[in-house]
Amino acid sequence: MTTADDLIALVRTYNPRLNEALLRDAYVFGAEMHEGQFRHSGDPYFSHPVAVAHILAEQQMDDATLITALLHDTIEDTKASYAVVEKRFGREIAELVDGVTKLTNLQLNSTQTKQAENFRKLFMATSRDLRVTLVKLADRLHNMRTIKSMRPDKQAQKARETMEIFAPLAGRMGMQWMREELEDLSFRVLNPEGRNSIIRRFITLQREAGDVVQKITADMRVELEKASIQADVMGRAKKPYSIWRKMQEKDQGFSRLSDIYGFRIVVATEADCYRVLGAIHQRWRAVPGRFKDYISQPKTNGYRSIHTTVSGRDGKRVEVQIRTREMHEVAETGVAAHWSYRNGERVENRFAVDPVHWIAALTDRLDDDQDHEEFLEAVKLEMYQDQVFCFTPKGDVIKLPRGATPIDFAYAIHTRIGAACVGAKVDGLRVPLWTRLKNGQSIEVITAEGQTPQVTWIDIAVTGRAKTAIRRSLREEDRERFVRLGRELARVAFENVGKRATEKALRTAAKALAIEDAEELLARLGSAEVTGREVVRAIYPELQNKHGDEVDQNRAVVGLGPDRVQHRGACCQPVPGERIVGITSRGQGVMVHAIDCQALADYEDQPERWMDLRWHEGTHGAVNTVTFDLTITNGAGVLGRICTLIGEQNANISDLRFIDRKPDYFRLLVDVDLRDAEHLHRVKTVLEAESNVSAIARHRDPALALAGRG
């Protein structure tokens, strides 16, 4: 483990003016707080925060960021509090540590709305100080480097999360080296055989052709010397995951894949960049369509470079990147360039672009009432983008992600233009709206008065901005239908507690829930953004408690030890009256499963964790949510009739989610609050007898059992 002296010595190489006393104090404090804690590997836990600080020191980060790295787990995992950290290290560091703690508690692998909502809030919060994100990225990098000590299922979960969120986030921040390493570490977990096959082919290729990188590097240096250009030339084979992705995208085998080698030429001035380009193209043949000038058209994260692909030695295609030293610094460190030091002084890099502007722009154009899953989707799309540059008829440049369509182009100009789009011309030729745009094309959007977005556009659009605007427009069209449905849901929810859903009651509930008026409340209720239970609770909390609160969890089942706490399995949703068993966790909790739960198969070889349980007699008045999988006819009033039938059985609908919409039927998941197995059977029987219900089943998801494993 890196010692405090080692860390201080590393920081002094780029920042002689560091606050050594404060950094050393943070090291000592972190070691004291984590004393007696160990990682899965058996190493002292504090070795992890130290490694995170070391990664950030290699990126030449400031004192506050390094101290945050050393303390980033103290508030969450030790007896230290925000107040303690603030008193000892100041408010700036306390807020940074608190920000990292919130990001750490975020479960990004879940598809549930709660996690997406948290992601939205915290993503907006981190825009206030991007150093929180940098510490979290370094934290994830070290965890991926040491992932082998975790359980295989945890490895896969973390690797998928890293590939989907953290790797593209690092790329978006301009830290391409970190993105590539995170992707490759994830690839090693998710597809070890695929990665090993790439490495084996590289070894074979090197044995047959020798060190190709060294030979081509030497050739380039000779050409640059002839042109009297001083430059640093570096070459390398691309990362296994990068090659694998190209193979999948182009549907080609390794032997047919080109440009698996990359070369970088760093010069003093922008003029030298173009002189190098001329020398390279004069010596080797350029590959058509593989030239990009990111100096004249920089990426939004500040990246500048010239990219070209040429047929090099023995006809092998190689990619060449040409840039100045300032451009190279931004390309290597991305957002960290904002905290770069030289001789103890912060250095301004004129090419560095603060990604806070990207985050602010993203969050500003997403409405507060937008669906949280849509926000998560939009964020992922923004982070994954590989841009193309297209032109308006007036010559303005529009930046779009790869695969974008004329619909995305139209919405990028203005939401009004996108909504009225009926067609498009690309380079003067009429094309379908699903056409994929390419670099350098000129796009003319054709609009018509009275046109509105179509449902099919959601599948055609690529950008989060377009998808959000289309969904918003469709929601407005559906508003009248949602209001009618919401009124029916409100009636059932209020009758369930012996009250009427009067206009005054609805206005009062809307005010209590900070919703502008009763009609908006009904629209949100009909679109499942608000539940009937939440509306009733807003004005009749005492009745909601009387009719719906669960009994004390420690008394819900019989057979638990005195210190055991039971949790109802989300995978099978057992209810009183059903045979149940318990699975103990490594803590003090017990997960209660129905005896026929599929998830129990995973514990067959662990009999010591099984507990024989039965329901306490007093639980039959408690609320137990059960999810029904319903397929119903798509007809006027059908959904309202279903809600009425459920309400007539004194059952409350707490949530409703559409999972498939077709012209002739809907498939949806309905969460219903029930007392016991008899109540469940009665509701299910009534729904089965309804002619507009073509299928009904209890929704059970074994994958949700993962949340309860310990």
Whether the per-residue pLDDT at 501 is higher than 80: the answer is yes
Q: Annotated catalytic sites, by residue?
A: 76-77
Q: Give the pTM.
A: 0.56
CA dist 162 and 575 (Å) reads 37
Whether the per-residue pLDDT at 132 is higher than 70: the answer is yes
**Among candidate residues 77, 22, 30, the one with its CA nearest the CA of residue 49:** 30
- Do the beta carbons of residue 305 and residue 321 sit within 8 Å? yes
Tell me: do 533 and 564 sit in the same domain: no
Terminal-to-terminal C-alpha distance of the chain: 29
- Do the beta carbons of residue 597 and residue 703 sit within 8 Å? no
Task: Grade residue 661 by pLDDT with cuts at 50, 70 and 90.
Answer: confident
Mean pLDDT computed over 272-292: 90
Tell me: do 233 and 317 sit in the same domain: yes
Tell me: do 236 and 371 sit in the same domain: no
Task: Grade residue 110 by pLDDT with cuts at 50, 70 and 90.
Answer: very low
- Residue 351 resides in a domain: no
Tell me: do 135 and 14 sit in the same domain: yes
CA dist list (Å): 484 to 229, 238, 287, 481, 493 = 73, 57, 60, 5, 15
- Do the beta carbons of residue 156 and residue 144 sit within 8 Å? no
Tell me: do 303 and 430 sit in the same domain: no
How do residues 524-537 score in pLDDT, each as one tens digit? 887 667 778 888 88
Domain boundary among 284, 318, 346: 346
Beta bridge partner(s), residue 591: 567, 583
Question: 474: part of which helix (H) or strand (E)?
Answer: helix 464-477
Tell me: do 414 and 439 sit in the same domain: yes
Tell me: do 173 and 32 sit in the same domain: yes
- Do the beta carbons of residue 627 and residue 669 sit within 8 Å? yes
Cβ burial, residue 157 (10 Å; 0-12/13-18/19+):
middle
DSSP string spanning 634-703?
--TTHHHHHHHHHHHTT-EEEEEEEEEE-SSEEEEEEEEEESSHHHHHHHHHHHHH-TTEEEEEE---GG
Question: Which residue shows structure tokens 């009248």?
Answer: 480
- Residue 353 resides in a domain: no
Tell me: do 540 and 569 sit in the same domain: no
CA dist 188 and 9 (Å) reads 33
How many domains is the chain built from? 5
CA dist list (Å): 107 to 115, 370, 463, 526, 593 = 6, 20, 24, 28, 23
Largest CA distance in the chain: 91
By three-state DSSP, how is residue 505 classified? helix
CA dist 534 and 654 (Å) reads 8
Task: Grade residue 558 by pLDDT with cuts at 50, 70 and 90.
Answer: confident
CA dist list (Å): 494 to 297, 314, 626, 673, 680 = 59, 78, 20, 14, 20
CA dist 459 and 438 (Å) reads 19
- Residue 557 resides in a domain: yes
Task: Grade residue 314 by pLDDT with cuts at 50, 70 and 90.
Answer: low
* Between residues 171 and 93, the one the model is more confident about: 93
Tell me: do 128 and 67 sit in the same domain: yes
* Between residues 516 and 553, the one the model is more confident about: 516
Tell me: do 133 and 33 sit in the same domain: yes
* Between residues 280 and 399, the one the model is more confident about: 280
Domain boundary among 470, 490, 525: 470
Q: Where are the alpha helices (DSSP H) in 13-46?
A: 20-33
Tell me: do 184 and 56 sit in the same domain: yes
Q: What pLDDT does 585 receive?
A: 77
CA dist 669 and 629 (Å) reads 5
- Residue 20 resides in a domain: yes
Question: 401: part of which helix (H) or strand (E)?
Answer: strand 397-401
- Do the beta carbons of residue 173 and residue 335 sit within 8 Å? yes
- Residue 423 resides in a domain: yes
**Among candidate residues 87, 84, 86, 57, the one with its CA nearest the CA of residue 70:** 57
Q: What pLDDT does 552 receive?
A: 47
- Do the beta carbons of residue 495 and residue 543 sit within 8 Å? no
- Do the beta carbons of residue 272 and residue 279 sit within 8 Å? no
By three-state DSSP, how is residue 627 classified? strand
Kind of pairing between the strands at 317-324 and 261-267: parallel
Contacts of 85 (CB under 8 A, 6+ apart): 71, 74, 75, 93, 94, 97
Q: What pLDDT does 62 receive?
A: 85
CA dist 693 and 214 (Å) reads 70
Task: Grade residue 201 by pLDDT with cuts at 50, 70 and 90.
Answer: confident
CA dist 556 and 567 (Å) reads 10
Mean pLDDT computed over 226-231: 92
- The least confident of 246-260, 530-544, 584-598, 627-641 is 246-260
CA dist 253 and 246 (Å) reads 10
Q: What pLDDT does 385 receive?
A: 54
- Residue 210 resides in a domain: yes
CATH code of residue 406: 3.10.20.30
- Residue 352 resides in a domain: no
DSSP string spanning 324-390?
EHHHHHHHHHGGGGGG-EETTEE---TT---THHHHHHHHHTS-TTS-HHHHHHHHHHHHH--EEEE
Query: Range of 20's domain?
Result: 4-189
Mean pLDDT computed over 172-177: 79
Measured from the Cβ of residue 564, the count of other Cβ atoms closer than 10 Å reads 17
Mean pLDDT computed over 380-393: 69
By three-state DSSP, how is residue 168 classified? helix
* Between residues 342 and 163, the one the model is more confident about: 163
CATH code of residue 168: 1.10.3210.10
- Residue 600 resides in a domain: yes
Tell me: do 392 and 503 sit in the same domain: no
Q: What pLDDT does 113 receive?
A: 44
CA dist list (Å): 534 to 37, 214, 648, 652 = 41, 67, 19, 11
> How many secondary structure helices (H) and strands (E) does the chain include?
31, 22
Mean pLDDT computed over 437-463: 86
Domain boundary among 549, 576, 606: 549
Is the Cα torsion angle 307, 309, 312, 317 positive or negative in sign?
positive
CA dist 49 and 99 (Å) reads 15
CA dist 96 and 368 (Å) reads 25
Q: What pLDDT does 349 receive?
A: 64
For the chain, give the mean pLDDT: 81
CA dist 701 and 572 (Å) reads 7
Q: What pLDDT does 76 receive?
A: 80
Whether the per-residue pLDDT at 215 is higher than 50: the answer is yes
